[in-house]
Structure 1
Amino acid sequence: MLRSWRCLWSASARLPATRRLCTAIPEQEYDVIVSGGGMVGLAMAAALCTDPVLRDYRVTLLEAGPAPPPAAALPAEFSNRVCALSPATRRLLERLGAWERLERYSTTQHMQVWESRSDAMIRFENLERPEDLAYIVENEVITRALSAALAAAGGEVAYDAAVEEIALPPAGAAPGEDAVRLRLADGRRLSCSLLVGADGVGSAVRRAMGVRTLGWSYGQRGVVATLCLADADLANNVAWQRFLPTGPLALLPLSDTRSSLVWSTSDAEARRLLALSDDDFVDALNRSLWDEHEAAPAVQWAADAARGLLGALGLRAPSGPLQLPPSVAGVVPGSRAAFPLALQHAEAYTARRAVLVGDAARRVHPLAGQGANLGFGDVTALAAALAAAASCGADLGARRHLAEYETVRQRASAALLTLTDGLQRLYGTEALPAVLLRSVGLQVCDAVPQVRRFLMDRARA
């Protein structure tokens, strides 16, 4: 049944443009339509096509952009847009058949976070589990791997398929009318039992659901770039993050000679950094990484007192002395860019026969590096909910199973949104009480094994 519908879609997609615009084209019916062909949308479609319970359902993925050109070799230089994937996300990609198709990635085995206004720091290492902390992968590499995995599973993607109109069924709709109906920009019409919105922060699916968002702009931008390191003889497997008064600065390893930069700073400072020459930009970056700032006497006293108290309790930080990050020798020409930072959260993830995943559901500050992992977590949870519905013969668009998905993912989102927003506010000020609190808090996190383990487990999830 699924193959016949795929053939019908493929035949209609090959019609001449004049016929595709004709309103007499029959409506194409699907069980699930995924709107949005980014990383999360591709993963969602692949999860549906590879799940043994769901793979015989009629599924298609709509992508507004053009079809990618035939697969070519990756550029020799790294892209400036990367993700820090967790071990849980790796397991998802392995199940989808995408992990082995990643053309390149690097592993992060350690992470050091330190404060610029005191000597407080924390260092994460995998001392208890034989797995990496994170995997640094370019967005393009993930997309290519997921596209290949979806194709291998017989999945269907419609490119140049911009959604122009979405009509969700009203409550109490009669049988046969209880479906989502879509009209594409080229006139094609589709219907489905469930519409998955994976169409990003400006989600058209979310608007059709009538779901409001809560949030605010941070008045900041994330400056990204691909960096050339000075010492190519050292193994580059540490993620570095320094909290500056204007925001966190992170270096993520790409290879022994390259790292990816994510520098959160004010809008004005971001514009200044982008306007600098490459050499001046590198100088500004190295100063921000290496310059020492004298701590206020009260902060130093509190840090020393906390260290003494923790030592008296037998809690000694395992991190040892602060390690210095690598020196940056240059920036790859043309790799500097910036994007606005904001918090955004949908009040609801589900509506009648519609559900949100990824950035359509929420947008988080990049300081924890967990935005992509949240989206991939949505894929895992929604696929499990839909498989549970299918296994008992239930309607995939039934609210009960969608509500279970929403409960699980709202909890995960609320925890991370609260954490990232709180850290952004705590580290976004030089007020003495805040500096005292974060310096002592970082020492406690470093010294108490249960806290360190909790933080590491959250990062792996």
Structure 2
Amino acid sequence: MVGMALACSLANMPLTNQLNVAIIDSNPALLSGACIKKEEPPDPRVSTVTPATIAFFKDVGAWKYVEQHRHAYFGKMQVWDYTGLGYTRYNARDVNKEVLGCVVENKVLHKSLLSCLQSAATQQKIYPFRLSSMTMQTSSSSTPHGSLARLDLSDGNSLHAKLVVGADGSKSRVKELAGISSTGWKYSQNAIICTIEHTEENQCAWQRFLPNGPIALLPIGDKFSNIVWTMNPEESSTRKSMSEVEFVKEINRALDDGYGPRPTSQQFGGKSPFSLLTTDTTISTNEGFEVPPKVTRLASERMVFPLSLNHANSYALKRDVLIGDAAHTVHPLAGQGVNMGFGDALSLAKVIAEGIAVGSEIGEVSLLRRYESERKPANLAMMAILDGFQKAYSVDFGPLNVLRAAAFQGAQYISPLKRSIISYASGEKRFPLFS
């Protein structure tokens, strides 16, 4: 999706829409032309896109295609702790916005970007093959293509390019062939994702932190929602194999009063413990705790993914640059991974356009480093925050539980903090509180 977003962005800008773009992707769904049927249950693989990502899709002309398929905007979010000691609710109106985000199936995002690209009057071609090898050629009389990257494909043919963009995921072949090393670690956690159905339409994003990881309930349209449930590998194996009836019971227990009591809205005598710090009465600090809708059935298979954090030590070499999961992978607890990737695509497209404007070679490392210098600090900041959350909620310890509850209450009642958190999560700010 991130690579297609970059191609759409390049096709949309006057300075870059004459570039000859080749998309190498062996995914058979790319050229299948299969229709997405609204009457079918949503696919469990979804993304929560932020207002900043929505704006990017609108700018490149892809969002109109998303709106032709199933998607679900949400204007509220509730986050709480299993101990019952704290919760916070976020509302789009707190930052004068209509929505906090939108949940979209990955296949809808991919199909929309492909439709956008196919409608563009640009020079682009899709190669449904795998990348076998990549070499950087130096200019000489014996190399007719000059100083270019040579890409050998699995069908035996070769391409030559001024710039190779690795947007091929966490196990990036481009990164491997370029010899770019990474830093990171595996979490002792897996995520179960699936589609569920409930008795009423859901228009809120819910997340509860449990002893072994968070569970999120995300609206996906009609009476369907998406579950992203983080737990240890042993639990994920057990829950994947249990019956549907038992699994639905486990979901409802995890989202309601299992593991601990529900938070109450009157824990502090109806008064904010931070009332002296709250000066902005326009923000929704007094919203009471709500119970998520009850899950009635499982509407898809259960898929299990191991979780990890990984960051490329370099984003850019001569004629080679990484974006999206090829450059960074994060914990899914805040749904920020794909939005970080779309931010990479937008930044790289602008840097390429700026380079063309001043006559620079688009594969020059000095130009590509400008992209890296913009995105690396932003991505590292987000990765540090998400990793900190993961570690803070991986320990069940009394005093730490109280501190976490205090953090929830602070986010609920301190208006400037709440507004900064929302703006940061929506993609409008880089660093909370300081930007």
TM > 0.5: yes
Alpha-carbon separation, structure 1, partners of 2:332 and 2:14: 35
The offset of 1:175, in angstroms, is 10
Q: 1:395 is paired with a residue of what secondary structure?
A: coil
Counterpart for residue 6 of structure 2: 44
More deviation in 285-294 or 406-415? 285-294
Do structure 1's residue 168 and structure 2's residue 130 form an aligned pair? no
Counterpart for residue 54 of structure 2: 90
Counterpart for residue 55 of structure 1: 17
Give the counterpart letter for 2:132 in structure 1.
Answer: E
More deviation in 334-343 or 268-277? 334-343
Counterpart for residue 421 of structure 1: 387
Quick check: 2:62–2:113 contact (8 Å CA) kept in 1? yes
Give the one of 388, 393, 409 matched to 1:443. Answer: 409
Equivalences, count: 414
Q: 1:254 is paired with a residue of what secondary structure?
A: strand
Alpha-carbon separation, structure 1, partners of 2:321 and 2:217: 35
Counterpart for residue 15 of structure 1: none
Quick check: 1:79–1:335 contact (8 Å CA) kept in 2? no
Do structure 1's residue 188 and structure 2's residue 154 form an aligned pair? no
| Residues 132-147 of structure 1 mapped to structure 2, 5 A cutoff | 132-147=99-114
How high is the TM-score relative to the length of structure 2? 0.90
Do structure 1's residue 324 and structure 2's residue 286 form an aligned pair? no
Change (3 A) 1:170 1:456: farther
How high is the TM-score relative to the length of structure 1? 0.85
Do structure 1's residue 206 and structure 2's residue 170 form an aligned pair? no
Task: Give the percent of matched residue pairs that are identical in Structure 1 and Structure 2.
Answer: 32
Change (3 A) 1:166 1:190: same
Quick check: 2:85–2:402 contact (8 Å CA) kept in 1? no
CA RMSD of aligned residues (A): 2.5
Change (3 A) 1:433 1:177: farther
The offset of 1:397, in angstroms, is 1.1
Do structure 1's residue 150 and structure 2's residue 117 form an aligned pair? yes
Do structure 1's residue 72 and structure 2's residue 42 form an aligned pair? no
Do structure 1's residue 226 and structure 2's residue 195 form an aligned pair? yes
Deviations 1:195-241 (A, max 9, x none): 100011111111122211111111211101111102x2xx4210000
Alpha-carbon separation, structure 1, partners of 2:406 and 2:268: 9
Bigger Cα Rg: 1
Counterpart for residue 240 of structure 1: 206
Quick check: 1:123–1:319 contact (8 Å CA) kept in 2? no
Do structure 1's residue 287 and structure 2's residue 287 form an aligned pair? no
Q: 2:378 is paired with a residue of what secondary structure?
A: helix
Alpha-carbon separation, structure 2, partners of 1:457 and 1:400: 32
Quick check: 1:218–1:341 contact (8 Å CA) kept in 2? yes
Counterpart for residue 239 of structure 2: 273
Alpha-carbon separation, structure 1, partners of 2:57 and 2:237: 37
More deviation in 373-382 or 126-135? 126-135
Alpha-carbon separation, structure 2, partners of 1:171 and 1:446: 60
The offset of 1:434, in angstroms, is 2.0
Counterpart for residue 349 of structure 2: 383
Give the counterpart letter for 2:171 in structure 1.
Answer: G
Counterpart for residue 123 of structure 1: 89
Give the counterpart letter for 1:410 in structure 2.
Answer: K
Give the one of 410, 428, 437 matched to 2:376. Answer: 410
Q: Which runs of 5+ in 1 are unaligned?
A: 1-38
Alpha-carbon separation, structure 1, partners of 2:216 and 2:161: 43
Q: 2:274 is paired with a residue of what secondary structure?
A: helix
Q: Which has the higher helix share?
A: 1
Give the counterpart letter for 1:63 in structure 2.
Answer: D
Quick check: 1:108–1:253 contact (8 Å CA) kept in 2? yes
Quick check: 1:211–1:346 contact (8 Å CA) kept in 2? yes
Counterpart for residue 186 of structure 2: 217
Change (3 A) 1:385 1:314: closer
Change (3 A) 1:421 1:341: same
The offset of 1:146, in angstroms, is 0.6
Give the counterpart letter for 2:156 in structure 1.
Answer: G
Alpha-carbon separation, structure 2, partners of 1:321 and 1:387: 48
Alpha-carbon separation, structure 2, partners of 1:73 and 1:185: 29
